[in-house]
Amino acid sequence: MVARLTGTIAQVFVLGIDPGVSRCGYSVLEQVGSRTRAVAIGVLTTSPEMPLPRRLAEIAGEVSQLFEEYRPDALAIERVLFQVNVRTAMSVGQVAGLCMVEAARRDLPVTEYSPNQVKDAVVGYGAATKEQVQRMVQTILGLSAPPRPADAADAAAVALCHLSHAGLAGALR
């Protein structure tokens, strides 16, 4: 992960993504030294009445805008795991791919984390509930309320997981 230097303190922006076609969670976190703050947390939404290619095009455009506006140093994305509904898993994988392409176009590192890795890093328990993740994201980032919907909190959790792993990797060097 590339860090920007502000004086002698490294500043890092991470874009976290919880991929989805109906709701794609995103979060931009800034870490300066040991302080982490939320710059943006939200969801990109598409209408289920639209054909899938049109929905993917909308998401691609909005993700591109996130990269342009926030200029992250890295992309952290939740790994798509097999789901009961294969059609859902395929479309989620397509959204993840769009996000990875946008990062690759900008020559940014991309790291995927499993849902269990994210929960373990943020809550300390790989089988944590959505509500536990939301509350811990709220606490860690000092937010007045838990991020909603859960997709937004999940995206922030992915970014927090990345910052945690990147910090550990840096400490081990």
By annotation, the residues acting in catalysis are 18, 78, 151
* Residues sharing a CB contact under 8 Å with residue 135, sequence separation 6 or more, in sequence order: 146
Using CA atoms, how far apart are residues 37 and 32, in angstroms rounded to an integer?
9
Which neighbouring-strand residues pair with 23?
45
CA distances to 9, 19, 45, 148 from 137, rounded to whole Å, are 24, 18, 21, 11
The answer to whether residues 35 and 44 touch, using CB atoms and an 8 Å cutoff, is no
Nearest to 123 by CA among 114, 132, 112: 132
Task: Please tell me the number of Cα atoms within 13 Å of 56 on its side-chain side.
Answer: 14
Question: Which residue type, as a one-letter code, is found at position 144?
Answer: S
Which neighbouring-strand residues pair with 112?
77
Rounded to 5 degrees, what angle do the CA atoms 24, 69, 58 make? Answer: 40
